[in-house]
């Protein structure tokens, strides 16, 4: 299976931005802009915006996801949100392992694996984020780091379940910095992830997985990144907060 047969997915990660009414307005503005687009469109909203976004997106191309989930289905975990709760309100996606969760909120490869498992068990599609720090790139261990993060996160994930996993390669040094991996750097790591998937599963399965790039992707650089043979979409932070920019990236992915 080649790139043309894989699902291209453009996902926005709003992070801790937008009030519920702003989420509604954003989705309403975006819907007509993406009605005929040739890729899947996802917006990952703050928990309290989810219901507003889901209601606004109903019946459209736009799908809604969360940015994190706990690994337990319920229990004494003050302040946390469980994956079945997300599914119950109509969320379809959840991000796990975002570098901000790893760096600022103590997520480890092990907890990312547990959150991924919980998302899959709840019936969500998981957008699993992996990425190296600048020092790791400079030490020439990027591929090793990415392979380890991916392998641990996918522990126990079956071939069938992998159909509901999207992997987002997000070099930490490129997130929110305005620095973007070159198209060649992005493709090299995405290809390394696909090679790992072929080792863990098989080549046909690996070829079917959507592998995104994220890190300062914007309307200006999206087309070149998305043209790479192993870059099947993007996870967009800053540029997903502006409908025109986000729609332009979606257009670039639809060609």
Residues that bind ligand PGA (CB under 6 A): 13, 170, 175-176, 214-217, 235-239
Q: Which is nearer to ligand PGA, 24 or 240 (CB)?
A: 240
Q: Which is nearer to ligand PGA, 37 or 241 (CB)?
A: 241
Identify any residues that bridge with 213 across adjacent strands, giving them in sequence order. 169, 234
Alpha-carbon gap, residue 35 to 232, rounded angstroms: 20
Return the axis-axis angle of helices 20-34 and 50-57, rounded to nearest 10°: 30
Contact between 180 and 171 under an 8 Å Cβ cutoff? The reply is no
Alpha-carbon gap, residue 184 to 2, rounded angstroms: 18
Q: Shortest approach of ligand PGA to residue 33 CB, angstroms?
A: 19
Q: Which is nearer to ligand PGA, 76 or 104 (CB)?
A: 104
Q: Shortest approach of ligand PGA to residue 76 CB, angstroms?
A: 30
Q: Which is nearer to ligand PGA, 170 or 230 (CB)?
A: 170
Which residue number places its CB atom closest to ligand PGA? 237
Q: Shortest approach of ligand PGA to residue 34 CB, angstroms?
A: 18
Q: Shortest approach of ligand PGA to residue 42 CB, angstroms?
A: 12
Active centre residues (catalytic) = 98, 170
Backbone angles phi, psi at 80, to 5 degrees: -100, 165
Alpha-carbon gap, residue 102 to 35, rounded angstroms: 35
Contact between 45 and 12 under an 8 Å Cβ cutoff? The reply is no
């Amino acid at each position: 299976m080649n790139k043309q047969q894989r699902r291209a997915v453009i996902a926005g990660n709003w992070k801790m931005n937008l009030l519920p009414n702003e989420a509604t307005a954003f989705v309403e503005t975006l819907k007509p802009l993406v009605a005929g687009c040739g890729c899947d469109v996802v917006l990952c909203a703050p928990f309290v915006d989810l219901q507003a976004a889901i209601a606004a997106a109903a019946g459209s191309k736009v799908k809604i996801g969360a940015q994190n989930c706990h690994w337990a289905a319920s229990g004494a975990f003050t302040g946390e949100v469980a994956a079945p709760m997300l599914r119950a309100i109509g969320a379809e996606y959840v991000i796990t392992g975002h570098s901000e969760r790893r760096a600022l909120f103590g997520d480890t490869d092990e907890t990312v694996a547990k959150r991924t498992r919980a998302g899959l068990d709840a019936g969500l599609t998981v957008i699993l984020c992996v990425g190296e720090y600048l020092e790791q790139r400079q030490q020439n261990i990027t591929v090793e780091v990415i392979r380890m993060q991916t392998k641990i996160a996918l522990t126990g994930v079956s071939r069938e379940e992998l159909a509901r996993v999207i992997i987002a390669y997000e070099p930490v040094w490129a997130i929110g910095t305005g620095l973007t991996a070159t198209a060649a750097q992005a493709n090299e790591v995405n290809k390394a992830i696909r090679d790992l998937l072929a080792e863990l599963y098989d080549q046909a399965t690996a070829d079917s997985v959507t592998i995104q790039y994220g890190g300062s992707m914007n309307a200006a650089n999206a087309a070149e990144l998305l043209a790479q043979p192993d870059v099947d979409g993007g996870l967009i932070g800053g540029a997903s907060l502006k409908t025109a920019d986000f729609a332009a990236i979606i257009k670039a992915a639809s060609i």
